[in-house]
Structure 1
Amino acid sequence: MASTASIGGLASGLDTAGIIDSLMQLEAIPQTKLKNQVSTEESKVSALQSINAALATLATTAKALATSSTTTGTWGTLSTTSSSTAVSATATGSASAGTLTVKVDSLATSAKGSLSGTALTAGATYTLSGVTDADGNAITFTTASGTYKELAASINATSATSGLKAVVVNDGSANGVLQVVSTTTGAASNFSIVDGGGAELIAGTGGADGQITVNGVSITGSSNTYANVVDGVSITATAVTDTDATITLARDASTRGDAVKGLVDAINNVLTMISTQTKANGADTSSSGVLTGDSTVRQAGQALINAIWPGGTTSLAQYGVELDRYGQYTFDADKFAEAYAADPDGATAAFVGTDGLASRIQAAAEAASDKYDGYITSSIAGRNSTIERLNDSIDSWDDRLELRRATLERQYTALETALSQLNSQSDWLTSQLASLTKSSD
């Protein structure tokens, strides 16, 4: 606090302002200690918040893996390969690993129709025969002045319900050629557009079902994608084939391994943060972590380690998760793939589900970081309360020190005033003595 004294030691010759400032520095030592405590606590809170955020992220990552479906999604997919570009397949975890032979006998096609050289009547209404909308109403098309472009626009405006698309090709004639095609495939895509008297205006033909042969069994469908041909497997055909194509279904260790590696990386991130913030260096305390000696943070780290190695006969080394000499957990994708190929159910259970690694990590991370009752969350709240109390004490010291400075300034002002009076008296006495001496002479 800056000095407000203006006495300046005029009578005493002392630097009274400097003396007061020095005395105030001594008086403020307890407050300085409180400020240092606040700074230390704020640093610890910041470090705790960073660790807590990392733990919350880890809990989210672990939960996603723990609750993964073993029949769909990342953990449920099977890899599929095909010997022919004309055939492809997708598979979920409900499918069985193995091979399928597929031959594309024919492709499903869309119905098409066209109109040319026929004049349309202005204001006429045309109807899609045999098709109604969701409310059971007939689907109709109109033209204002009887042009093909107007009819095409009307067809396209109802495409969502009619299942038709139209375009006019300019061939040099008055109206051009109106082409209409079904947006779906299969025999059911054939259509007929009739005029008000029921006469057919456009006949959409050529729509046909496709056919494939899977393991010697013929399958027909209105689409070129055949869903659930065998349990969990869908096949898409893009061209007719003369010979069988071989589709191989395999357990996809790669995507599963990536999910496990993501979890292991998240665990390492948290453990590294905890190690950095809690490290102790007796020889050089300046290089020690902010949270050295914090048992709450060490508890979180130990809980994660216990989740990885819960004891008993459980070991993840056979699935590629091990601890290296640097204290980091590593993931060997090749070892995991080998273990998964040998025992997919066992490998799955080691990581996914209520008893898997992901679930154990989720529980440990949430216990520490839960926003309501996590023990690190509670530690942060406790330290924030401490900071608030310390700041209240610092504010109280501001008032106390202000009063102390005012007291010192009054005391030194009184001293200077007294000295000034004494100096004045001394000068008077000196002058009187000098007068007496002159009189005696």
Structure 2
Amino acid sequence: MATIRFTGLASGLDTEKMVKEMMKARKEPMNRLLREKQTLEWKRDSYREMNSLLLELRTSVDSLRFSGNFNKKQASSENDNIASVNVVGTPKLSSYAVEVKQLAQAEMPAAVALTIDPSLKNNTKAEIGSAFTLTVNGQAIQVEAKDSIESVVSKINAKTSASNVQATLVDGQLHLTSASGKVGSLTNQEFSITTTGDSSRLGIAADSTVTSTTGSVGQKSKVVINGIEHEGTTNKITFDGVEFTLKQKNVGSAINVSNKVDEDAVFNTIKDFVNKYNDIIAKINKEISEPRFRSYKPLLDEEKEALPDKTVDKMEEMAKSGLLLRESTLKSALDEMRRAFSTAISGTGVNAAFDTMTEIGIGGPPFGKNAYQENGKLYIDEKKLRSAIRNNGAEVTKLFTNFSDSTNPATKYKESGIAERLYSELSKAIDKVTGQAGSATSTAAYDESYLGKKLKETNDEIDRWEDRLKDIENRYYKQFATMEKLMAKSQSQSSWFAKMSGQ
């Protein structure tokens, strides 16, 4: 609760204004701390933003460390009318000879549809009202007068294993069909239903026989791929990571299916990474090269209130500028990434003709540009890169993904692929920046990072100064109150003497 003071009653002085002026000089040490705290917060946020960029780039480069992202294949069929193809895995073979011997065909069951009495259709639990014998494919079923259509269905299905026929109620009809896979076990691939007694409410005339439609037996697909026959229940067969969709027989006239590297997919993966790299290093280079305007300091709250919003924004922009000027960790990270790109890889199986990025069409500025002005930006010779992917895909893969198990750091670096080097260097930079200002995803005001601890110390010092200044302010007001008391007493005595003199 704010203290209410009545000042200047005896002296007529503006005590509030005088105390405020006296406190200005006293507050200066705390003001410096407040400005320092704001600068530290800005600096921490800038570091965390840079850390977020490094993390984003490391995530992008992570996909380039694994050969699977370079082994994307595209299959094509010599004749899509006979068999079309689609890569669903990681093919090991480059081509396949395909002969379709037989297409899969679904089984067509034998079936009968009986139109039951409307009263049973509307109430499946109603009694049939008459007893009779229902013989389904040679299996006798006793139907009682008290049976409902539902119980009749249950009785028929209880005999399915012997009759090979099953019953279902569908849209007011009683459907009897051969059980799945049982068409071939029926006589002439048909079955009959015979009734003895009044079965009219079931949709069959009394003492009559109904014969089902003729079913057909299904068949499996058969295809010979590279001399080996494969069977399937459908016309889709997967072999060596390739899905073959069989459409037409071509016995005695095999077609060729070929696998090749999906040039567009690999090219776009590399191009997307290069674009991401260029975008992020441009942002980091901008941050570490911004000019520092040391004469501009963070504004205090009372200073902001006295200025137009546009002026405040402009002054804060100038005060924030250059907080990471020539920051050593970020500058070192950029240098190490450039070294990772430019250093040739070596090791078992590495082709010397494809041991640097420039040999596959990725390098610095084209002729006529000044490299130092580009700050490590990469350019892609699309024609050269596509040619390398198409004709030397294995070498391109090694250039990015080569792994070294050497325990010697220098040897490991030389033998590691570009992506492995970049991932390692980015991880080191992220760890260092995290130690300086906290992780990229952190929202904590204070943490165990250098700036986190520094902010905590500064904030504690501000709290101590606030208490100290409150004590000083109270002392000033107390001194003025004492002065007012003495002046009031003096004025009272003077008034008494004046009265006495007048008498």
State the TM-score, normalizing by the size of structure 2: 0.64
Task: Give the counterpart of 1:361 among 418, 422, 433.
Answer: 422
Q: How do 1:237-316 and structure 2 match up within 5 A?
A: 237-241=246-250, 245-281=255-291, 286=318, 288-310=321-343, 314-316=355-357
SS in 1 for 2:290: coil
For structure 2, list consecutive stretches of 5 or more residues without a partner in the other structure: 114-134, 144-148, 188-211, 297-317, 346-351, 404-415, 438-448
- The corresponding residue for 2:454 is 386
- The corresponding residue for 2:153 is 147
Q: Kindly indicate whether residue 344 of structure 2 is the aligned counterpart of residue 344 of structure 1.
A: no
> Residues 258 and 178 of structure 1: is their aligned pair in 2 closer, same or farther, counting only changes over 3 Å?
same
Deviation at 1:341, TM superposition (A): 1.8
Between the aligned partners of 2:170 and 2:106, the Cα distance in structure 1 is 23
Contact 1:277 1:292 in 2 (8 A): yes
Between the aligned partners of 1:276 and 1:396, the Cα distance in structure 2 is 38
Contact 2:221 2:232 in 1 (8 A): yes
- The corresponding residue for 1:6 is 6
Cα RMSD, aligned residues only:
4.2
> Residues 115 and 280 of structure 1: is their aligned pair in 2 closer, same or farther, counting only changes over 3 Å?
closer
Q: Deviations over 1:8-40 (max 9, x none)?
A: x23333211111012112211111111111111
Q: Deviations over 1:170-221 (max 9, x none)?
A: 799x744515555xxxxxx987589xxxxxxx99863434344557x47352
Deviation at 1:358, TM superposition (A): 1.7
> Residues 306 and 191 of structure 1: is their aligned pair in 2 closer, same or farther, counting only changes over 3 Å?
farther
Contact 1:79 1:250 in 2 (8 A): yes
Q: Kindly indicate whether residue 112 of structure 2 is the aligned counterpart of residue 108 of structure 1.
A: no
Between the aligned partners of 1:171 and 1:422, the Cα distance in structure 2 is 113
Task: Give the counterpart of 2:468 among 391, 400, 404.
Answer: 400
Q: Kindly indicate whether residue 434 of structure 2 is the aligned counterpart of residue 377 of structure 1.
A: yes
SS in 2 for 1:12: coil
Q: Give the residue type in structure 2 aligned to 1:42.
A: E
Between the aligned partners of 1:12 and 1:165, the Cα distance in structure 2 is 116
Between the aligned partners of 1:351 and 1:85, the Cα distance in structure 2 is 39
Q: Which moved more, 1:311-320 or 1:295-304?
A: 311-320
Between the aligned partners of 1:387 and 1:272, the Cα distance in structure 2 is 29
Q: How do 1:40-119 and structure 2 match up within 5 A?
A: 40-69=39-68, 74-82=69-77, 83-91=79-87, 94-97=91-94, 100-116=96-112, 119=136
- The corresponding residue for 1:28 is 27
> Residues 250 and 68 of structure 1: is their aligned pair in 2 closer, same or farther, counting only changes over 3 Å?
closer
- The corresponding residue for 1:235 is 244
SS in 2 for 1:76: coil
Between the aligned partners of 2:389 and 2:155, the Cα distance in structure 1 is 61
For structure 1, list consecutive stretches of 5 or more residues without a partner in the other structure: 125-142, 156-163, 183-188, 195-201, 436-441
SS in 1 for 2:275: helix
Between the aligned partners of 2:229 and 2:399, the Cα distance in structure 1 is 39
SS in 2 for 1:28: helix
Between the aligned partners of 1:310 and 1:167, the Cα distance in structure 2 is 75
Q: Kindly indicate whether residue 378 of structure 2 is the aligned counterpart of residue 329 of structure 1.
A: yes
Contact 1:79 1:252 in 2 (8 A): yes
Contact 1:168 1:179 in 2 (8 A): no
Deviation at 1:422, TM superposition (A): 3.2
> Residues 95 and 63 of structure 1: is their aligned pair in 2 closer, same or farther, counting only changes over 3 Å?
same
Deviation at 1:149, TM superposition (A): 11
Contact 1:76 1:93 in 2 (8 A): yes
Deviation at 1:273, TM superposition (A): 3.3
Deviation at 1:401, TM superposition (A): 0.5
Contact 1:208 1:222 in 2 (8 A): no
Between the aligned partners of 1:239 and 1:148, the Cα distance in structure 2 is 43
Q: Deviations over 1:286-345 (max 9, x none)?
A: 172442243233333333333333368853133343344654334455432211122111
Deviation at 1:145, TM superposition (A): 3.4
Deviation at 1:400, TM superposition (A): 0.2
> Residues 311 and 176 of structure 1: is their aligned pair in 2 closer, same or farther, counting only changes over 3 Å?
closer
> Residues 41 and 78 of structure 1: is their aligned pair in 2 closer, same or farther, counting only changes over 3 Å?
same
Deviation at 1:396, TM superposition (A): 0.4
- The corresponding residue for 2:409 is none
Between the aligned partners of 1:175 and 1:434, the Cα distance in structure 2 is 132
Contact 2:153 2:167 in 1 (8 A): no
Contact 1:112 1:179 in 2 (8 A): no
Give the fraction of aligned pairs with identical amino acids, expressed as a percent: 21
Q: Which moved more, 1:396-405 or 1:9-18?
A: 9-18
Q: Which moved more, 1:402-411 or 1:255-264?
A: 255-264
Task: Give the counterpart of 2:217 among 200, 206, 212.
Answer: 206
> Residues 408 and 238 of structure 1: is their aligned pair in 2 closer, same or farther, counting only changes over 3 Å?
same
> Residues 317 and 406 of structure 1: is their aligned pair in 2 closer, same or farther, counting only changes over 3 Å?
same
> Residues 36 and 179 of structure 1: is their aligned pair in 2 closer, same or farther, counting only changes over 3 Å?
farther
State the TM-score, normalizing by the size of structure 1: 0.72
Deviation at 1:44, TM superposition (A): 1.7
> Residues 394 and 341 of structure 1: is their aligned pair in 2 closer, same or farther, counting only changes over 3 Å?
same
- The corresponding residue for 1:128 is none
> Residues 56 and 349 of structure 1: is their aligned pair in 2 closer, same or farther, counting only changes over 3 Å?
same
- The corresponding residue for 1:138 is none
> Residues 46 and 107 of structure 1: is their aligned pair in 2 closer, same or farther, counting only changes over 3 Å?
same
- The corresponding residue for 2:486 is 418
Between the aligned partners of 1:94 and 1:103, the Cα distance in structure 2 is 19
- The corresponding residue for 1:136 is none
> Residues 425 and 409 of structure 1: is their aligned pair in 2 closer, same or farther, counting only changes over 3 Å?
same
Q: Give the residue type in structure 2 aligned to 1:78.
A: K
Q: Give the residue type in structure 1 aligned to 2:6.
A: S
Between the aligned partners of 2:10 and 2:51, the Cα distance in structure 1 is 63
Between the aligned partners of 1:388 and 1:193, the Cα distance in structure 2 is 87
